[in-house]
Structure 1
């Protein structure tokens, strides 16, 4: 009996946090946009060779306590049970399932978990390429954009102005600049 050997190898990639950022944008009073980001996050990816379209493992996490909107009072409120409930739900998690070509870019389908609620999420992924940096490390770059309804994840706090406008919009825009480092 012959044994078949695979010629492909699993490649592990980890995030380069010094060259990556995870942002969100939300409308305030429906007239301005507030931008926030997470200071502490992680992303691990395993691919077949260097082919990200054949990723077998994509796991992203962000620590809720690291949320920053450049306003400590607002950040404390976002960490509270009114929003992310960081005491009981310390992390946001996205598990990617599969890539789908979309013109020159890709759609990444997966599951997003916030406050213990998991919902399917599809994000747009622009692959910027793979290069070797001056230190001999192979790096891959991506821009990721998406949108979620915060209410679907139990982030339902809101207030109404005197004129009847809501304080915080339901739609949250996601924007990530991701740089991965090839391991081994």
Structure 2
């Protein structure tokens, strides 16, 4: 069976995250520049090869000062580590709509194996004749596992920035000829 390559459609995808601020509200952000590819056997996504990279410089939380702090050595250290990457080691089918993805997430030069549930929305043809597939990924990571340790204690107790990062990723891929 021939291999099929799928490229990300960035106009219909979003790499989002949320982190608690002052222990009680969420601050949302996203990466504006990223790339991802999937390689499958035909149109079968079981055991697909999936790779992703995101440009740290493109981080956007709707606040320039916060974005610059996230790019600094206190967090992502964009100067020395300009990209975060993910390479799947497994893409396992649970049922027609659910998969599980496992792979190495590399942030700030630290690679850790993570597993996330994936909602597979199926394969369809758009109005312009392009074959598309949609994936939704939600998960959680602890930012300290990758050396993103900066924080500030609050006078009232607790910390300024939560350790848990919630991921909300919507991906649309186009089948390549």
TM bucket by the smaller chain? over 0.9
Equivalent residue number for residue 106 of structure 2: 113
Q: Give matches, 1:44-59, under 5 Å.
A: 44-55=37-48, 57-59=49-51
Aligned counterparts of 2:32 and 2:137: Cα–Cα separation in 1:
17
Aligned counterparts of 2:125 and 2:93: Cα–Cα separation in 1:
25
Aligned counterparts of 2:108 and 2:15: Cα–Cα separation in 1:
18
Structure 1 regions of 5+ residues with no counterpart? Answer: 1-7
Larger radius of gyration: 1
1:5-52 Cα offsets, whole Å, 9 max, x none, are: xxx110000000000000000000111000000000110110000111
Aligned counterparts of 2:74 and 2:43: Cα–Cα separation in 1:
42
More strand by share: 2
Equivalent residue number for residue 18 of structure 1: 11
User: Cα distance, 1:164 vs. partner?
Assistant: 1.6
Question: Any conservation in 1 of the 2:47–2:92 contact (CA below 8 Å)?
Answer: no
Question: Any conservation in 1 of the 2:38–2:51 contact (CA below 8 Å)?
Answer: yes
Structure 2 regions of 5+ residues with no counterpart? Answer: none
Helix, strand or coil for the counterpart of 2:46?
helix
Runs of 4+ in 1 over 2 A off after TM superposition: 100-104
How many residue pairs get matched?
176
Q: Give matches, 1:107-146, under 5 Å.
A: 107-146=100-139
TM-score of the two chains, using structure 2 as the length reference = 0.97
Q: Give matches, 1:1-184, under 5 Å.
A: 8-55=1-48, 57-103=49-95, 104-184=97-177
